[in-house]
Amino acid sequence: MAKVSITIDGHPIEVEEDSFVLQAAEELGISIPTLCYYPHITPYAACRICSVEARDDKGWSKIVTACNYPTWKGLQIYTDTPRVINARRINLEMLMSRCAPLPVLQQLAEQAGIKEPRWGYGTDTCIKCGLCVRICDEMVGAHPKLAPVSTTTDGVYLAGGCQGPKDIPDTVAQGSAAAGQVLKILNQGELFLDAAYAAILEEYCSGCKICNGLCPYNAITFEDEKKISLVNEALCKACGTCAAACPSGAIIARHFTDEQIYAQIEGILA
């Protein structure tokens, strides 16, 4: 991708075109406060705490969010102008007006010079960052709010009163959604399994059956003939509960072994 030259608080830097301002600021060591940002998922810009001022050489100026604003040739970014400070304060005070005085908000308020929010405090303990939903959606692949008819067992779906009290339109809508999910599976012809799952090393298994009772997905059965436990790969969700609990160290979490995790850490620190 092509490189473009931009400046942040007067400091020039070359970055990839359409990369985000926040990443460029981090490369320069310039701190921009964030609340809903996480580097490994798509920027959300819900909190707008990372507001900065974007300018060009023709007098254009606009308050933008650094986490998801793309860079372009000649872009000038300012992180501490009066407009920026005012925008951050207003956004933070509006959030504080609905939330309880949580430590993360108090810390940001101290940085912004807010001693007492003008609209007071609320009682909500959720800061509306959306991280829980987005991480489950983009990294884990499931969340009740994004898959309202799904369950933790593949192929089993909920509809109507079994999930909770519902009126007729909601029940009909859920029934249609559940039927659609089932038809999608039936039309695939094949089921694709996750490469990550637990595996039991038979030579180390002592047959204690501890893992059988711990598995939340009923993916582990005991084979009486061999006196060992076995994992059903199709049911296993790689949660790691059995691997952590096995007293014999006979269960490995495929793609999450100690050696692989150490290698990843060494790669990051290299």
* Model pLDDT for residues 38-75, shown as the tens digit of each residue: 888 888 888 899 999 999 989 999 999 999 999 999 99
Give the residue numbers spanning the domain of 183.
148-188
Give dist(CA 97, CA 86) in Å, integer: 16
Residue 221 has pLDDT above 90, yes or no: yes
Kindly report the average pLDDT of the chain as a whole number: 87
The per-residue pLDDT for 143 is 58
Quote the radius of gyration of the chain (alpha carbons, Å). Answer: 25
Of 115 and 66, which is predicted with more confidence? 66
Convert the pLDDT of each residue in 76-108 to its tens digit.
999 999 999 999 999 999 999 999 999 999 999
One domain for residues 28 and 123: yes
One domain for residues 97 and 65: yes
One domain for residues 89 and 173: no
The per-residue pLDDT for 183 is 87
One domain for residues 4 and 29: yes
Within-domain flag for 64 = yes
Within-domain flag for 225 = yes
One domain for residues 80 and 137: yes
Give dist(CA 5, CA 232) in Å, integer: 54
Within-domain flag for 193 = no
Q: Please name the residues in contact with 136: beta carbons below 8 A apart, sequence gap of 6 or more.
A: 142, 143, 146
pTM of the model: 0.55
**Alpha-carbon 150 to chain mean position:** 19
Nearest to 191 by CA among 165, 155, 167: 155
Within-domain flag for 176 = yes
Rounded to the nearest 5 degrees, what angle is found at the Cα of 266, between the Cα atoms of 265 and 270?
Answer: 120
Of 232 and 143, which is predicted with more confidence? 232
Mean pLDDT along residues 209-217: 88
